[in-house]
Amino acid sequence: MRVVLIKPGPIATPMTAHLRPGLLWSTPDAAGDAIVAAIAAGRAVRYVPAYWRAIMAVVRLLPDSIAARLKA
């Protein structure tokens, strides 16, 4: 058995309908296709959509003092 860790970004669903979708949002169909492809390929970690990996890399590189101000 293998485990595939899916790290989703913003996806336009009924749960997020009250939010205004921006350019970085993904559709449920596109996210589902990417998840199925990741499972078929046996990838260990998959960011959905793929550009979310770069965004999260920048967030992880932020110093703690700046990240703490962004949370507030």
- pLDDT at 22 (0 to 100): 84
Cα–Cα distance list, 25 to 13, 36, 56 (Å): 10, 19, 14
Question: Is the pLDDT assigned to residue 6 strictly greater than 70?
Answer: yes
- pLDDT at 66 (0 to 100): 82
Give the residues across from 46 on adjacent strands.
Answer: 6
Question: Is the pLDDT assigned to residue 5 strictly greater than 90?
Answer: yes
- Say how many C-beta atoms besides its own lie within 10 A of residue 17's C-beta: 8
- pLDDT at 47 (0 to 100): 94
What's the pLDDT tens digit per position in 17-70? 999 888 889 999 999 999 999 999 988 999 999 899 999 999 888 888 887 787
Question: Is the pLDDT assigned to residue 1 strictly greater than 80?
Answer: no
